[in-house]
Amino acid sequence: MGVEVTRLQRGNLVHEYGCDTQRLFPWPVLNAPFEASWATVRAGTHSVLHSHHEREIFIAIRGEVQVECGGQTAPFRSGDVAYFTPGEEHRVLNDSTEDFEFYSVWWDPDMAVSFLATQGVTA
């Protein structure tokens, strides 16, 4: 097996949660216990305030914004990582004049159990 590469296709981003995104994981060959996507929050916009049952991390790639979680905000810039627990409302506030890019990874116990089952392991 060679290197598996999924290319970011900026011209084909899908608008969801107030961001422009592309799902990049999982690959069928990877069968990972998580999912992930690339996301861009356009200058002067905010992502949608939302929560979900998965755990999630944001990895800041380019730019500087405010990340909001549980009604509190914090600066969030290139190189930073933010973690959200299930049920916490969160979003990205981009009041700058530059687009902000980040990578999002999310997982839950069901995804892990499913993954382990394909590996012949029971939890």
**Domain CATH code at residue 20:** 2.60.120.10
Domain count, the chain: 1
- In this prediction, residue 110 has a pLDDT band, given cuts at 50, 70 and 90, of confident
Instruction: For residue range 7-17, list pLDDT tens digits in order.
Output: 899 999 999 99
Structure tokens at 9: 């296709």
Instruction: For residue range 32-56, list pLDDT tens digits in order.
Output: 788 899 999 999 999 999 999 999 9
Q: Is the pLDDT of residue 22 over 90?
A: yes
80-85 mean pLDDT? 97
Instruction: Let me know if residue 2 belongs to a domain.
Output: no
Distance CA 45, CA 55 (A): 24
Read out DSSP for the chain?
Answer: ---------GGG-EEETTEEEEEEE--TTT--S-EEEEEEE-TTEEPPPB--SSEEEEEEEESEEEEEETTEEEEEETT-EEEE-TT--EEEEE-SSS-EEEEEEEE-HHHHHHHHHHTT---
Q: Is the pLDDT of residue 101 over 90?
A: yes
What residues make up the domain containing 66? 15-24+35-118
Instruction: Let me know if residue 29 belongs to a domain.
Output: no
Instruction: Let me know if residue 7 belongs to a domain.
Output: no
71-90 mean pLDDT? 97
pTM of the model: 0.86
The chain-wide mean pLDDT, for the chain, equals 89
